[in-house]
Amino acid sequence: MISDLEQIYSTNIKGMKKSAIRELLKLTQRPEIISFAGGLPAPESFPIEQLKEISCEVLDQDGPAALQYGATEGVTELRQLMVDRYNAQGMNIELKNLVITTSSQQGLDLLAKIFINRGDKVICGLPSYLGGLGAFNSYGAEMIGIKFDEQGMRADLLDEKLGELKSQGIKPKFIYIIPDFQNPAGITMPESRRLEIIDIAKKYDVLIVEDSPYREVRFEGKAQRTIFELDGSGHVILLGTFSKIFVPGFRIGWVVAHEAIVDKFVVAKQSTDLCTPTLNQKIAHKYIEKGYFDENLKEIIKQYHEKRDNMLTAFRDYMPEGVKWTEPEGGLFLFLTLPEGMDAENLFHKAIENNVAFVLGSVFHCDGSGKNTMRINFSYMPKDKTTEGVKRLAKAIKEEMGIE
């Protein structure tokens, strides 16, 4: 090993941190632990038999092309299919507005690579998705958090903060928002709030990044139009993924944006991985084309709806007074808030002793707040284990509160 290894690391890698969730998950691998920590889709939702069928079809009919390098922009048939699906929902985009990425996490990394210089400001929610915060931090961004209410990011505080920054001669690179079943809070932003934020972003001439990995996993309530559609002026970058609505192992995501921005994503991606795996894209295209995607999505929604209801029932039955939680209309997560003064990090170790795990809410807060919060996943565990896990978590909370 060379003598000055630490000195020759780049500034970027020195600023990177290990994922708090990935590190915590190492503590939850024991089979006796019931884990609400990961953001994992349920394995029973994976369409294994259909994928066997389609994989053979793709290899039989288009094998050489499927196993070859592909265009950086992505497989044209898949891109066109995604464009058509979005336009059927009310958007107005063309092929030039969409690029396939190797997961939406790559989209976040490329976003940061394209826009962020060290010291640049990025606006995000309190709380906000840890993977986004990590990607922005790795390029030296300074995150500025805006508190939430029951409708998501508060527009009044956003306006106030952007005005304050403008008076200092500072323009943030973008506003990062997860409007549908937000990770980690589970909140869906209503259209009225989306319009408020669009107006504020235009007032200060700041881009909006709309991260939308869970949008199609809706159990109840009315689907809200995307911020991208409501804006309609190229002011928004939309990120999507198949990880939560198809299979995460394929690592297929996408970015929708003005063609000038999409072009920069293509350039940035070329030096990262050249292209997203062609075989995965062709299988995904065939899977959707044959109608299997929409068919299986209905089953996923049904499964997760039942799992959410089961968890909420267990919370109402076992959680002590003073503990609050969100009740999301879809997605994979809810957010639990402990009484003021309690520390979820202290509780985490007690929970592990009780063989149940969660993710600390503080890791989703760029300012270190949220010490008394936690993210809970309801999609992965079977319902009987979820009920038992909630009992164990409630027991740990009561112990921490000094309740017998």
> Which pLDDT tens digit goes with each residue over 228-257?
999 999 999 999 999 999 999 999 999 999
The amino acid occupying position 60 is D
Inform me whether the pLDDT recorded for 404 exceeds 90: no
Inform me whether the pLDDT recorded for 185 exceeds 70: yes
Inform me whether the pLDDT recorded for 3 exceeds 90: no
- 288 or 15: which leads in pLDDT: 288
Residue 49: is it exposed, middle or buried by C-beta count within 10 angstroms (0-12/13-18/19+)?
Answer: exposed
Predicted local confidence at residue 31, as pLDDT = 83
- pLDDT tens-digit map of 156-167: 999 999 999 999
Residue 19 pLDDT class (50, 70, 90 cuts)? low
- pLDDT tens-digit map of 106-153: 999 999 999 999 999 999 999 999 999 999 999 999 999 999 999 999
Residue 24 pLDDT class (50, 70, 90 cuts)? low
Predicted local confidence at residue 14, as pLDDT = 73
Predicted local confidence at residue 9, as pLDDT = 81
Task: For residue 144, give both structure tokens.
Answer: 């500025």
Predicted local confidence at residue 177, as pLDDT = 98
Residue 273 pLDDT class (50, 70, 90 cuts)? very high
Question: What SS3 state is found at 123?
Answer: strand
Say if pTM beats, i.e. exceeds, 0.85.
yes
Predicted local confidence at residue 25, as pLDDT = 62
Predicted local confidence at residue 65, as pLDDT = 97
Predicted local confidence at residue 244, as pLDDT = 93
**Domains in the chain and their CATH numbers?**
5-47+294-401 (3.90.1150.10), 68-292 (3.40.640.10)
Arithmetic mean of pLDDT, 213-222? 96
Beta strands in 302-382 (DSSP E): 324-325, 333-337, 356-357, 359-360, 373-377
Inform me whether the pLDDT recorded for 381 exceeds 90: yes
Predicted local confidence at residue 341, as pLDDT = 92
Arithmetic mean of pLDDT, 307-318? 98
Inform me whether the pLDDT recorded for 94 exceeds 70: yes
Mean pLDDT computed over every residue of the chain: 95
Element (DSSP H or E) covering residue 207: strand 207-211
How far is residue 377's CA from residue 385's CA, in Å, rounded to a whole number? 13
For residue 123, the number of C-alpha atoms closer than 13 Å in the C-beta half-sphere is 31
List Cα–Cα distances, 186 to 83, 308, 377, 378, in angstroms: 27, 11, 10, 11
How far is residue 305's CA from residue 313's CA, in Å, rounded to a whole number? 12
Task: For residue 132, give both structure tokens.
Answer: 């986004």
CB proximity list for 251: less than 8 A, separation 6 or greater: 102, 103, 106, 243, 276, 277, 280
How far is residue 237's CA from residue 297's CA, in Å, rounded to a whole number? 25
Q: pLDDT > 70: what percent of the chain?
A: 97
Cβ(214)–Cβ(180) below 8 Å: yes
- pLDDT tens-digit map of 26-73: 665 678 899 999 888 999 999 999 999 999 999 999 999 999 999 999
Residue 23 pLDDT class (50, 70, 90 cuts)? low
Beta strand 34-35 with 359-360 is unpaired
Residue 335: is it exposed, middle or buried by C-beta count within 10 angstroms (0-12/13-18/19+)?
Answer: buried
Beta strand 333-337 with 324-325 is antiparallel
Give the residue among 299, 78, 331 at the shortest CA–CA distance from 187. Answer: 331
Predicted local confidence at residue 346, as pLDDT = 93
Residue 271: is it exposed, middle or buried by C-beta count within 10 angstroms (0-12/13-18/19+)?
Answer: exposed
Residue 294 pLDDT class (50, 70, 90 cuts)? very high
Predicted local confidence at residue 22, as pLDDT = 61
Predicted local confidence at residue 127, as pLDDT = 97
